Structure 1
Amino acid sequence: MTLTENRPAITPPHPRRWLGLAVLSASLLLVVMDITILNVALPAIAAELRPDSVSLLWMVDVYALVVAGLLVTVSALADRWGRRRMLLTGFAVFGAASAAVVWADSPGEVIALRALLGVGGAMIMPSTLSLIRTLFPDGRERATALGVWAAMAAVGGALGPILGGLLLEHFSWHAAFLVNVPVMAVAIAAGLVLLPESRNPRPGRLDLLAALLSMAGMTALIFAIKQVGKHGVTDPAALAALAVAAAALGWFAARCLRRPEPLLELRLFRTPSFTAGAVTALITELAMAGVMLLMAQWMQLVKGYGPLETGLRLLPLALAAVVASPLAPALAARIGARTVLAGGLAVTAGGFLVLAAAPLEYPVVVASLALIGLGMGSLSIASAAIMAGAPPEKAGSAAAIEETGYELGGALGVAILGSLAAAVYRAALPLGTLAALGVTGAAAGSARESLAGALELPVPALAARAQAAFTDSLALTGLAGGALMLAAAAAVWFLTPRTLDLSAASH
């Protein structure tokens, strides 16, 4: 598809489109904040409810499993039922699940509420993107709107730990959920007034078998990735889940490619710029999820910062992203979308590589975070390329593909880069060295399993060695993340047409 060719008259823009964007951006901000707030609230939840290790893992994992399983089906339903209606229903589900936490007094109930939050999140996330496609038919305005949208995602990720820390200093862990309730109520009221309804005028019949295959396949795939990250590639549960995922998703893809009106329009990948945008989303989230998780742990367990201080010290990333994201569309109009897309990935790679190139102290980390945040500005161009590569009636499929890329990238990042970091950390703490320090048996196993386990043992020499090992693992993971981002930059450069003009991409 050529994005600069002559087209029919553009649909008139919605008169309240910028106010509508404020509603969509605020909802994205809250959902992203809620995901990161849980990481801060988890110790308090564990202290009060005393979950076993399996329940604790499910509290963290169930949200991603539900979101990944429902994204495609919910997007297809929104194309038929109405995207605004789906978004407002998602707000209601998210708010209701958050309010119900008042009655949660067991690990199982918290897991169930997190699953319900995942249902709401799956309704909200792709709907915001597809409604931006509807609100902004003009390519130039849409690129600017997606820059604002991407900036809000970065702000949400940064403010979540800070808000969580503030809430937990003054209230119980329930406050981390209850803060969602009034915001969702306001979002529903504002959405009813400011957002237009949109749907696919010719959606075709809903393919129920494909919906079931997508839910089973994506849930199994994310579960398999998480199991590999925790237990290794030989884990029987991971292998079984991977087999289910391969069978279900293979059947799903074949079915979608054969049907004229599929549940998910996989033929969008025939447009190179669409594929480039999807690759950017996937690889950026993969590298970010793995490295940033380790960086937050490094700040707390090596440098000794508290959760609130850690959140504040991670702010340079969000501040840089807030500056870069809205400016990226104008830069793309001046020097080309391909240059901004690939260049943003290269700048992000530079941020990761800084972690390996210099001794890890906070000024080095600030430089790294600033570069990563500036590079993340290209994500708004990736979203613009994805949405421009899909006609309005396929906006749901485009949004589902992008959001699935983020979910899949996050799971892969934690599993792959997290496993790499764990291997480097364990290699620096051989059993012989630990025995020389007087640490043997179960204590040695705990020390090699995690830095937190090593710090719990009353052996100062072990603590220093374990902290140095963790710092080395973060540096090497930064190197791996940087290499991955450079490879993605090269791939995106070759995939993206040199003449891609997002300001002219209107359907």
Structure 2
Amino acid sequence: MTTAKTPAAASPDTPQPHPRRWAGLAVLSASLLLVVMDMTVLNVALPQLSADLRPDSVQLLWMVDIYALVVSGLLVTASALADRFGRRLVLLLGFTVFGLASLAVLWANSPAEVIAVRAALGVGGAMIMPSTLSMIRHLFTDPRERATALGIWATMAAFGGALGPIVGGALLEAFSWHAAFLVNVPVMLLAIVAGLFLLPETRNPRPGRWDLPGTVLSIVGMVALVYAIKHFGKDGPTDPQTWVPALVAAVTLSWFARRNLRRPDPMLELRLFRGPAFTAGVVTALAVSIALAATMLLLTQWMQLVQGYGPLETGLRTLPEAVGAAIASPLAPALAHRIGARTVLAGGLALSGLGLLVIWSWPGTLDYWAVAIALGMVGVGLGSLAIASAVIMAGAPPEKSGSAAAIEETSYEIGGALGVAVLGSVAAAFYRTHLTSEELAAEGVTGRAAHVAQESIGGAMDLAHEMGGAGARLAAQAREAFTGSLEWTSVAGGLLMLAAALLVWRLTPKDLDLNEVEH
């Protein structure tokens, strides 16, 4: 790793790097790690949380969805506020909100209260995630050091996603589901103290006038878009809950885009998309989120409900992804310097896509060894994509780093929503068509009970348990149907990532060198 000394190659026009930049990076990376972990911990905690609070299907959907809705709606506004009033200020406020919301779970004893806690966590997450990325752009003025720092930042993001189920499983083995939230509190407290001493304050020196109409348009448009995407997966394209918010999103976001393209001081700098490298980085973020959000959610359920692993064992069995990412991520910047950022970006997407196809193509019945191989390949692929953030930030001048960070994080949020909605719909459709009403009736399951069994594998397994020995065949049918849904979802995700790899290869300039880009 580059040392903390001032880079000798820095040009006279390049600002001097901050003397505590590496310590500051540790604070930013640790906070990002926790936020990303918190997003995946819920996957493991859902079965225990559902058994305790007994939410209905709508409440369960909101528990999962509200975080992404709030984050998506506030990302652009939070980034603009950070550019204007100070990135450290907004980041520390985000730490505070995230910590207080996590502590509030002690008083959450109903589905509605958990939904409120998740919404407050979304507010904190929207303030934290883009602020960490844009601050790195200002802490590290030397391009070579910045590429390394962004690689570490991306490593923490990938590692947090893989570590979440492990930490969550360990906590759930020893404590109640509340512990999955409470673990955030001491870390956020330490992050606030460390941030006050180690992070400098930075802001856009020429922020321009605050765009209040643009703020309203961005919040309404993004919330409506993510809401429409999620209800598309649940209710289909003909339900008013899908097309009404979709129409609202189309109108408000089009208006927002036109407004930003016409203003000399836009709230979100959409002109960054004129750079093909920037666009390639955003496509990478979007494709990864779409392909993996639903697949990883299904995998953790498959391990617990089909394979019968406990929460901790499920978390530990996701380790191949974490190990692969941990090995590949630190090597990605140097590899990009040697063989080109284009090759590393496109190659990482292709390897992850092939990893997902392993789940579908495994001969015989799907077992853990197939999943372990797939997760290892996905992890290495994700590790090589650590330079995606560096590619995005390389395409943005320092004063527009907030916009670049907001666009990247919005891509991840929209991608996650699209993945769960669209690929989740593929999984749900396969599950329902392979657990038919006729098959259920043959087992004596009809009416409301049949609907519950077809709604989710968790409902089917609960019903089979209540039936005792007579429910063994129902449980086997539900496991087989759910395994098939996982396999076909993996096919869709894998093909998407392979297609994205081709697009990224075409978009990324062949001679792009992240160690030489400077503004």
Same fold by TM-score greater than 0.5: yes
Residue 305 of structure 2 is aligned with which of 293, 301, 306? 301
Q: Call closer, same or farther: CA 1:42–1:303 in 2, change over 3 Å.
A: closer
The AA in structure 1 aligned to 2:422 is I
Residue 227 of structure 1 is aligned with which of 222, 227, 231? 231
In the alignment, structure 1 residue 239 sits paired with structure 2 residue 243 = yes
CA shift, 1:47, in A, is 4.2
Q: Deviations over 1:96-148 (max 9, x none)?
A: 22223333334333322221111111000000000111111222211111121
In the alignment, structure 1 residue 485 sits paired with structure 2 residue 497 = yes
Residue 261 of structure 2 is aligned with which of 231, 234, 257? 257
In the alignment, structure 1 residue 269 sits paired with structure 2 residue 281 = no
The AA in structure 2 aligned to 1:260 is P
Q: Which residue of 2 aligns with 1:410?
A: 416
Q: Which residue of 2 aligns with 1:29?
A: 33
In the alignment, structure 1 residue 385 sits paired with structure 2 residue 397 = no
The AA in structure 1 aligned to 2:401 is A
The AA in structure 1 aligned to 2:187 is V
The AA in structure 2 aligned to 1:474 is L
Q: Which residue of 1 aligns with 2:404?
A: 398
Structure 2 CA distance for aligned equivalents of residues 40 and 321 of structure 1: 20
Equivalent residue of 1:292, what SS? Answer: helix
Q: Which residue of 2 aligns with 1:3?
A: none
The AA in structure 1 aligned to 2:309 is Y
CA shift, 1:284, in A, is 0.5
Contact 2:94–2:128 at 8 Å: present in 1 too? yes
The AA in structure 2 aligned to 1:384 is A
Q: Deviations over 1:71-96 (max 9, x none)?
A: 00110010010111111111111112
Structure 1 residue runs of 4 or more that deviate by more than 6 Å after TM superposition: none
Structure 2 CA distance for aligned equivalents of residues 48 and 444 of structure 1: 23
Q: Call closer, same or farther: CA 1:343–1:441 in 2, change over 3 Å.
A: same
CA shift, 1:314, in A, is 0.6
Structure 1 CA distance for aligned equivalents of residues 262 and 394 of structure 2: 24
Q: Deviations over 1:290-344 (max 9, x none)?
A: 1111111111111111111111001110110011111100000000000001111
Structure 2 CA distance for aligned equivalents of residues 433 and 53 of structure 1: 23
Write out aligned runs for 1:281-300 (5 A): 281-300=285-304
CA shift, 1:393, in A, is 0.1
Structure 1 CA distance for aligned equivalents of residues 339 and 489 of structure 2: 32
Q: Call closer, same or farther: CA 1:233–1:376 in 2, change over 3 Å.
A: same
Q: Which residue of 2 aligns with 1:128?
A: 132
Q: TM-score normalized by structure 2?
A: 0.93
The AA in structure 1 aligned to 2:243 is L
Structure 1 CA distance for aligned equivalents of residues 292 and 389 of structure 2: 17
Structure 2 CA distance for aligned equivalents of residues 326 and 89 of structure 1: 30
Equivalent residue of 2:515, what SS? Answer: helix
Q: Call closer, same or farther: CA 1:103–1:440 in 2, change over 3 Å.
A: closer
The AA in structure 2 aligned to 1:472 is G
Residue 209 of structure 2 is aligned with which of 205, 208, 212? 205
Q: TM-score normalized by structure 1?
A: 0.95
In the alignment, structure 1 residue 196 sits paired with structure 2 residue 200 = yes
Aligned length: 502
Mark the runs of 5 or more structure 1 residues left unpaired by the alignment.
Answer: 1-5
Structure 1 CA distance for aligned equivalents of residues 94 and 375 of structure 2: 32
Task: Indicate the larger mover: 76-85 or 356-365.
Answer: 356-365
Q: Which residue of 2 aligns with 1:325?
A: 329
Write out aligned runs for 1:165-180 (5 A): 165-180=169-184
Q: Which residue of 2 aligns with 1:13?
A: 17
Write out aligned runs for 1:81-230 (5 A): 81-230=85-234
Q: Call closer, same or farther: CA 1:461–1:41 in 2, change over 3 Å.
A: closer
Q: Call closer, same or farther: CA 1:66–1:191 in 2, change over 3 Å.
A: same
Structure 1 CA distance for aligned equivalents of residues 450 and 118 of structure 2: 34
Structure 2 CA distance for aligned equivalents of residues 51 and 358 of structure 1: 36
Q: Which residue of 1 aligns with 2:317?
A: 313
RMSD of equivalent CA atoms: 1.7
% of aligned pairs identical?
Answer: 69
Q: Which residue of 1 aligns with 2:4?
A: none
Structure 2 CA distance for aligned equivalents of residues 327 and 482 of structure 1: 24
Contact 1:300–1:307 at 8 Å: present in 2 too? yes
Contact 1:274–1:386 at 8 Å: present in 2 too? yes
Contact 1:333–1:503 at 8 Å: present in 2 too? yes
